[in-house]
Amino acid sequence: MSKKIGLWPSTSLVLGNMIGSGIFLLPASLAAFGGVSIIGWIVSACGGLVIAKVFSELGGRFPQTGGPYTFAKEGFGDFPAFLVAWGYWISICCTNAAIVVTMLSYLSTFFPILNSNPLVSVGVGLATIWFLTYINSRGVKEAGWVQLITTVLKLVPILLIAIVGVFFIEMDHFTPFNISGQSDLTAITATATLTLFAFLGIESATIPAESIDNPIVTIPKATMIGTWIAIIVYILGSIAVMGLIPPDVLATSEAPFADAAVVLWGPGAKKWVSLGIVVSTFGALNGWIMMQGQIPFAAARDRLFPSLFGEENENKMPAKGLMFSSLLISGLMVMNYSRSLIQAFEFMILLATLTCLVPYLFSSATHILMSLRSNKKVSWIWGSLAFLFSMWAIVGSGEEIVFWGFLALMSGIPVYVWIKSKAPVEE
């Protein structure tokens, strides 16, 4: 029991994995739409709450390690569960590589050599990956405390700007309400699609379920609390930044929250926000490295992933699986610093988008099945709304992402066939 994590580390896992680097850049992307983008935030927040409700109920019902993988297996069997685990694992590895590159980019504010010397950048990136891999191999409790501390630290700059900035908002920045030149409905749909990806990670508390104290109670609470805090931070932060910086200036900003801090407190504040982003990406990387070990571990335990991923060390952590995944992340990160491989790196990030949404689809479908079997009409409605929202998000991702994401999922079929061929035949 002493090795398990409680409510607040579990909540920070949800919140910390959701709040990475994206929120710090999103206001610039939304500036082209104007104030109508706030409605888009509200729409995606409603979708996020519905999905959170599904994961909180499934997490309480099936408190086993694996989260979306476990739910897909309970609802649809081995093969769909394998596809969820395979796609999710690919998504995490690609995402982690991108998080490291983003962290190094903001760290260069303090150490310019990271911009001018690729060798130093690679060295710092590799050191970060392997330090956090070591932390996670020491046990979930140690990783949970790192997650809690970094989550608190990353919220400080966003909340300061959101709370203080509200008192200095220029209402002229929100008129006209829709400056995109598109209809209100089209603009809301576009901004809701953009902001939806800020909610990826809602499922985080369900994945290390067996390492959570009293998971039947803790997972639902952590999932809903983390989601609500993220929604408040996202919407208030975006309103404050849009109200402090004119839309035309905001649209070209490379660091919207840092520029907003300059408006409030002067040029020196920019570095403090950059430091907050570094902490934010570091914390997100820690949380997602934990996930990269837990999902394959659950699948390997069911003989649906190579046995390497299912081997535990003395701390009850899948250390070999963590190390294998971190080797892959290291290779992907190095690709970004090679001119001949940078396009391949960007391509891998593209694959990560769809493969992270498919587990939401399967989990929602499982929730519908379980609700129908237990004759819970209200739960059935939650599952249906989450399924429709997940499908809408997948379609809204675009043809290219859907195509390559589908191929990424299908690439796991040979692995599945190989694993099944080696499985012992039951008498």
pLDDT in tens, 150-164: 988 888 888 888 899
**The model's pTM:** 0.89
Show the tokens assigned to 44.
């995606």
Sign for the CA dihedral angle at 177, 180, 184, 190 comes to negative
pLDDT at residue 341 is higher than 70: no
Determine, yes or no, domain membership for 389.
yes
pLDDT at residue 364 is higher than 90: yes
Determine, yes or no, domain membership for 2.
no
Q: Is 380 exposed, middle or buried (0-12, 13-18, 19+ CB in 10 A)?
A: middle
Determine, yes or no, domain membership for 303.
yes
Q: Per-residue pLDDT tens for 19-31? A: 876 677 788 888 8
pLDDT band at 323 (very low <50, low <70, confident <90, very high): very high
The alpha helices in 62-183, defined as continuous H runs, are 68-76, 78-107, 113-116, 118-137, 140-165
pLDDT at residue 121 is higher than 80: yes
Determine, yes or no, domain membership for 230.
yes
Determine, yes or no, domain membership for 345.
yes
Domain CATH code at residue 238: 1.20.1740.10
pLDDT at residue 354 is higher than 80: no
Determine, yes or no, domain membership for 1.
no
pLDDT at residue 306 is higher than 70: yes
Nearest by Cα to 43 from 171, 176, 188, 149:
188
Q: What total number of domains does the chain contain?
A: 1
pLDDT at residue 427, rounded to an integer: 40
* Mean pLDDT within 218-225: 95
Instruction: Quote the mean pLDDT of the chain.
Output: 87
CA angle 149, 155, 159 (to 5 degrees): 150
Which residue range(s) make up the domain with 108? 7-422
Determine, yes or no, domain membership for 134.
yes
